[in-house]
Amino acid sequence: MTAALEGIRVLDLTRVLAGPYCSMILGDLGAEVIKVEAPGGSDDTRKWGPPFQEGVSAYYLCANRNKQSITVNLKSEAGKEIIKKLVQESDVVLHNFKTGTMERLGLDYETFRSLNPGIVFCSITGFGETGPNKNLPGYDFIIQAMSGLMSITGDDDSGPQKLGVAITDILTGLYACIGIQAALLERTHSGEGQKIDLSLYDSAVSALINIGSNYLMTGQVPERLGNHHANIVPYQTFHSSDGEMVIAVGNDHQFAALCHVINQTHLIFDTRFRTNPARVENRKELTKILQIAFSTQPTTYWKEKCHQANIPFGPIQTLKEVVNDGHLEARGMFVSADHPKAGQVKMIGSPLKLSKTPTQIKQHPPEPGEHTMEILQALGYTPSQIENLRKSNTI
């Protein structure tokens, strides 16, 4: 069985999350990914925990499958020579060093392009390679704060809140995948690669979507609405008699169906609630009415009634409930792989369901330098040369 990106080699000089998440997706799609770290291992997530499984970090495991690992000292001339040899045989270089670092190392795009005109060079930084903040370090939490995402997350009581995962890293990793594949596709026409300049800040701002559009249209700074929606009502959480749930009514027809479900059909004709703009205007009054109704029955009751009426509904589930969800099991969203140190490790699977070239797990998240010997041998290094590189702390 062929893979979608079979034959594509990615030289991955990234660490932590945005870059490794991107290269993992490319690896899931069949690309050959070579993860480069400093001797001993320099991806910070290897030490982020607990939890650890036999000393292996769960954080590291989440974004590093389907990769080989080589350790190289990028500050040594011999190490730089290894990277340049790999570039000549690669299609993509991915890095997330601070702006200017690759240039100082002599491992920049122009250098690589002279060695391999077809190379696609993707840079991931906090603020991009242009602009007054280009030299600042970028961390997801900082970017969530600066981008406006935190200002619209939470409510008046909680104050600004970050999302529960490093969402700007994930978004940037996804954008990197899109950009890399677009550049590879363009290369089939021109024969040449190109440079991609991605920033966490840009990616986070792009995620403002309708909230950003609302401000650009009105100049009105949005308030934090907690689990409410700025433009749609009711589109929020409610308490049932035994838990919490989400109702997402997207149009007037669904609202009428909801009124039937709660046996309050008179609300359909109430001028305060007849249209969505009216419901947004009278959000507090409608929410109070609906909350009283929903508190009379358990979540399972409302789930059945809403599904029967084609009203978007979802219980708020814990991760224990998510992992035991039969639907996700049927979709293959939880997978396992044997790891030489940690034993069998469980991971979240790929959401990409390709009918002809499905994603596969061919390689466990590697230990530092696990494949250094075979990668160097494939480049033409002899055993004695490899041993000398090891003794000089180049690998």
Whole-structure pTM value: 0.92
ω into 50 cis (within 30 of 0): yes
Number of neighbours of residue 165 by Cβ within 10 angstroms: 10
Q: Is the pLDDT of residue 154 over 80?
A: yes
Chain centre distance of CA 218: 31
pLDDT digits (tens, 9 = 90+) for 95-143: 999 999 999 999 999 999 999 999 999 999 999 999 999 999 889 999 9
pLDDT digits (tens, 9 = 90+) for 367-393: 999 999 999 999 999 999 999 999 999
Q: Is the pLDDT of residue 230 over 90?
A: no
Q: Is the pLDDT of residue 1 over 80?
A: no
- Cα distance between residue 244 and residue 286, in whole Å: 18
- The average pLDDT across 356-361 equals 94
13: nearest Cα among 45, 38, 47: 38
- The average pLDDT across 226-230 equals 90
Neighbour-count burial for 118-128, b at 16+ CB within 10 Å, e otherwise: bbbbbbbbbbb
Q: Where are the alpha helices (DSSP H) in 167-251?
A: 167-190, 200-206, 209-218
Q: Is the pLDDT of residue 282 over 90?
A: yes
- The average pLDDT across 193-203 equals 98
pLDDT digits (tens, 9 = 90+) for 43-64: 999 999 999 999 999 999 999 9
- Cα distance between residue 238 and residue 297, in whole Å: 12
Q: What single DSSP character describes residue 155? A: -
Torsion, Cα 359 53 139 163, to 10 degrees, reads 80
Torsion, Cα 106 109 115 119, to 10 degrees, reads 150
Q: How confident is the model at residue 361 (pLDDT cuts 50, 70, 90)?
A: very high
pLDDT digits (tens, 9 = 90+) for 3-16: 999 999 999 999 99
19: nearest Cα among 193, 140, 163: 140
Q: What is the pLDDT of residue 345?
A: 94
Positions marked active-site: 169
Number of neighbours of residue 159 by Cβ within 10 angstroms: 11
pLDDT digits (tens, 9 = 90+) for 248-281: 999 999 999 999 999 999 999 999 999 999 999 9
pLDDT digits (tens, 9 = 90+) for 283-341: 999 999 999 999 999 999 999 999 999 999 999 999 999 999 999 999 999 999 999 99
Q: What is the pLDDT of residue 2?
A: 85
Structure tokens at 208: 């403002």
* Cα dihedral 303, 306, 308, 314 sign: negative
